[in-house]
Chains A and B, each alone.
Chain A
């Protein structure tokens, strides 16, 4: 597959298009088939009653358009603000602590097992505790997102700063680099690159956490909107809100992947196998 891709990329644009056309057409056919199945299922399930269980694609699209025209921007900004603050705090904390744990053998041996023991407890499990601690406001959500991001990035940070080759460090010190210089020019770049990759991987974990935190706390943001329309049994609006979630996650991921390819082009492998 990779080889095909490389061969196609080497060809002229027209050839490239011709080679990819069948695949694109098949993809469109698949998407159309999925939409057709959805429409048929919604017709079959149209039972009347209070709850319109499965609205058709058009109804959902209409609802999505209405939401985008209405409160979507406000909710998105509110969610993004929580997400951005938490994400930055999580990345910074993970980088600092990762540097300490990765560079000091003793600190690593003492505290890394503790970090490893906490890691499997997903940040989602912290939701009730965080609400007890920080209430329903911004604080608890920022804490949860920060925690989710931290737990992912810490692994990358420790890995990045402990995997500077020993030979390289010895050479640098032999050539007369001071401790601070070595840190600045060897260890820090190696760490930051891994942190960058980790913080992209953490995007989805953090975004998922924002959703759960807002579903539970439900005071503002996309998650609160989702709970609001759920409580009024408005299935088309619920599905539209889900789609808006998916789209925002997709856009963020695409932007960051592009940025990462620009900054660390040699780590293509890492960019590709993110979940």
Chain B
């Protein structure tokens, strides 16, 4: 009982103290230096701004647009990335042929593609979807290839002994065995993809959370900027949690 109380104190109370201290420093900074609202609004103002924002229709439209771009790009990038990675993991030749191309493209970070996607697709959704797919694709390809190559060889031998053909072996044995690694790569890729959407929306977009906060910044509505950052962080955390839940549900289903 004592131990339990102690654990609750450590896990809940102390972090709460940390949050309170940070908010107090924030509030004190605003009060002491008399910072105007456009530099740093106090925490309470940000909270009410966030509450007002959630009540508007435009906010939900921006959230919807950003999420749509992310989900579409993520689905495309993950599917293609896992497929390429699987092929690279299964065939040594294929891996050797593809590695230089993948490695050299991987160093062109997704953000550097933003201007090109604007030239190609304008401010439409397609450009962002391509960008997210690109960002996600390389993470998934590289991690899947590595995970497949590291699958326990015993499994392969057992599969071969049971008379499985290479394709069946790849899909029914190697892919499930590599799933934990692929799932954690999928979470890392989601974080990168989500932030790529936001960055792309800064530079050229007709709607979305990134556009919302850059617009707010240029009209010096700092409260909205911070509220938007909180929303972006929450959605990022939510997406990550959702992928974790899906990955956890997978093995129990089979």
Contact = CB atoms under 8 A, between A and B. Distances in A.
Which 5 residue pairs of A and B lie closest in terms of their CB atoms, listed nearest first? A128-B217, A113-B15, A230-B115, A30-B97, A121-B233
B31 to A, nearest CB: 18
Contacts of A33: 97
Interface string A107-120: 00111111001101
Contacts of B111: 124, 208, 211-212, 215
Interface in A133-159: 133
Interface stretch (A68-76, A161-169, A234-242): A234-242
Interface in B214-233: 214, 216-217, 220, 222, 225-226, 229-230, 232-233
B213 A122 contact: no
A7 to B, nearest CB: 15
B214 A128 contact: yes
Contact of B96 (A27, A208, A211, A212): A27
Nearest to A4: B92
A33 B100 CA distance: 11
A256 interface: no
Interface size class of A (residues with CB under 8 A): 35 or more
A111 B96 CA distance: 46
B237 interface: yes
B202 A128 contact: yes
19 contacts: A26-B97, A28-B100, A30-B99, A53-B119, A109-B14, A112-B18, A117-B233, A118-B233, A129-B225, A129-B226, A131-B217, A132-B39, A208-B109, A227-B203, A246-B112, A249-B107, A250-B107, A253-B107, A275-B139
A13 interface: no
B21 A110 contact: yes
Interface stretch (B47-55, B125-133, B166-174, B191-199): B191-199
A253 B225 CA distance: 33
Contacts of A9: none
The residue in B105, B119, B146, B222 that gathers the most chain A C-beta atoms within 10 A of its C-beta is B119
Given A27-B99, A133-B39, A128 B115 contact: no
Contacts of A111: 18, 21
Given A30-B96, A245-B108, 20 more contacts: A26-B96, A27-B99, A106-B14, A111-B21, A113-B14, A113-B18, A117-B233, A121-B232, A121-B233, A128-B213, A128-B214, A132-B222, A208-B111, A215-B202, A241-B112, A246-B104, A246-B107, A249-B109, A250-B107, A273-B146
Interface residues of B, number: 58
Interface of A: 1, 22-23, 26-31, 33-34, 51, 53, 106, 109-114, 117-118, 120-122, 124-129, 131-133, 204, 207-208, 211-212, 215-216, 226-227, 229-230, 233, 235, 238-239, 241-243, 245-247, 249-250, 253, 273, 275
